[in-house]
C-alpha cells in the first residue's frame, strides 16, 4: 500500500487558504488521462464557493472520447472545464475568455461601484507534475512582468502579470495526491506523477496490461505484434525478447519498464486510465 502522510496536506491546506482570499478564480489542473486520480479529494472543501475553472492538461495524450465525458461530468457538477495542451497551445487562449465569463457578475459589480477595469487575479492548483510549469510558460509567452505587491499582501507574495488580462500569484498552490485507493496510486505511478521507485515496474506493468486488455486491447496487440489471449507474463517475455533482454534475471521488470515508457511516449496511443 502506498503510504499517505497527512502532514503534507495540512501545510498545503493552510498555505492555500491564506492565498485564496487574494484571487478571483482558481485554475484546477487535472491530468486528462487520470482526471479522478489527479484530483485531490479535499479540493472542494478548500475552494468552497470560489470560482473555479478545471483545466484538463496533457489532453493530447488522453482519449478524446473520455476527455469529453469527463468535461460533461464536470459541467453537470457546475464546474466549467477546458481540455488543454500546453505544448501545442490547444485552448490556452480560451482560458482568459472563459474566466471573464465566469467572473462577469463580479466585474460588473466592481464597475458599478466605480472601480477601474483590472486583470483577473488567479491561482493555479494541482498535484505535482500535472503540467503547472508548462502551462505558466505558455501563458507567459516571454512577456512576464512583475506588477509589484498589492495592498495587504505580504512581501513574499508577488503578482506576476502574464498578459494584459491575467495575473497569477507567483507561488501557485500545490496539493499532494491522496492515494488511499490503490488504483489511484497505480494511475499516478503509471503516468509518472510520482516517482517510479514508489511501486515496482513489474507490478505497474501487470496492472497496465490488465487495463489495456480490457479497454485498449487493439493498441497493445498492434504495438507488439501479438495474438490475443496471451498471459501478461507471456506478453512481457515477448517484449523482452524483442528488446534483447530475455536472458536477464529481472526480465519482467525490464520489460515492464519498456511498456511504461511506451505508454508515456504515446507509442501505445492516446489512453485514458480513469474511465467514466
87-123 residue pLDDT tens? 888 899 999 999 999 999 999 999 999 999 999 999 9
- End of a domain among 174, 190, 223? 174
Same-domain pairing of 21 and 147: yes
Distances (CA, A) of 251 to 47, 48, 191, 257, 260: 46, 49, 22, 10, 14
- At 85, which CATH number? 3.40.50.300
Q: Are residues 68 and 168 in the same domain?
A: yes
| Main-chain phi, psi angles of 183, to 5 degrees | -65, -40
The answer to whether 223 and 168 have CB atoms below 8 angstroms apart is no
Beta bridge partners of 31: 57
Residues 70 and 140 in one domain: yes
How do residues 138-178 score in pLDDT, each as one tens digit?
887 754 444 443 433 333 456 788 888 999 886 656 766 66
Residue 260 inside a domain? The answer is yes
Q: How many domains does the chain have?
A: 2
Residues 97 and 25 in one domain: yes
Range of the domain at 214: 200-264
- Does 201 score more than 70 pLDDT? yes
Domain boundary among 121, 140, 174: 174
Residue 270 lies in a domain: no
In a domain, 179, yes or no: no
Confidence class of residue 275 from pLDDT cuts 50, 70 and 90?
A: very high
165 and 73 within one domain: yes
Q: Tell me, yes or no, whether 41 lies in a domain.
A: yes
Residue with the three cell numbers 513489474? 202
Amino acid at each position: 500500500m502506498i503510504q499517505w502522510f497527512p502532514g503534507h496536506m495540512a501545510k498545503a491546506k493552510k498555505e492555500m487558504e491564506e492565498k485564496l482570499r487574494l484571487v478571483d478564480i482558481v485554475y484546477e489542473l487535472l491530468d486528462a488521462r487520470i482526471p479522478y486520480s489527479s484530483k485531490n479529494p479535499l479540493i472542494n472543501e478548500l475552494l468552497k464557493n470560489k470560482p473555479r475553472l478545471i483545466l484538463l492538461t496533457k489532453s493530447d495524450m488522453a482519449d478524446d472520447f473520455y476527455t469529453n465525458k469527463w468535461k460533461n461530468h464536470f459541467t453537470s457538477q457546475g464546474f466549467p472545464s477546458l481540455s488543454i495542451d500546453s505544448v501545442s497551445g490547444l485552448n490556452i487562449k480560451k482560458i482568459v475568455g472563459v474566466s471573464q465569463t465566469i467572473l462577469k457578475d463580479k466585474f460588473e459589480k466592481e464597475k458599478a461601484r466605480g472601480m477601474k477595469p483590472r486583470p483577473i487575479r488567479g491561482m493555479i492548483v494541482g498535484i505535482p507534475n500535472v503540467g503547472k510549469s508548462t502551462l505558466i510558460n505558455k501563458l507567459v509567452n516571454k512577456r512576464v512582468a512583475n506588477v509589484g505587491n498589492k495592498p495587504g499582501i505580504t512581501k513574499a507574495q508577488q503578482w506576476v502579470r502574464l498578459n494584459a488580462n491575467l495575473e497569477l500569484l507567483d507561488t501557485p498552490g500545490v496539493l499532494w495526491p491522496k492515494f488511499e485507493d490503490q488504483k489511484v496510486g497505480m494511475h499516478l505511478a503509471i503516468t509518472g506523477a510520482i516517482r517510479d521507485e514508489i511501486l515496482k515496474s513489474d507490478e505497474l506493468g501487470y496492472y497496465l496490461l490488465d487495463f489495456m486488455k480490457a479497454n485498449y486491447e487493439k493498441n497493445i496487440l498492434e504495438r507488439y505484434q501479438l495474438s490475443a489471449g496471451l498471459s501478461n507474463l507471456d506478453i512481457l517475455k515477448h517484449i523482452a525478447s524483442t528488446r534483447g533482454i530475455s536472458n536477464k534475471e529481472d526480465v519482467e521488470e525490464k520489460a515492464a519498464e519498456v511498456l511504461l515508457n511506451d505508454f508515456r511516449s504515446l507509442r501505445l496511443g492516446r489512453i485514458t486510465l480513469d474511465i467514466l
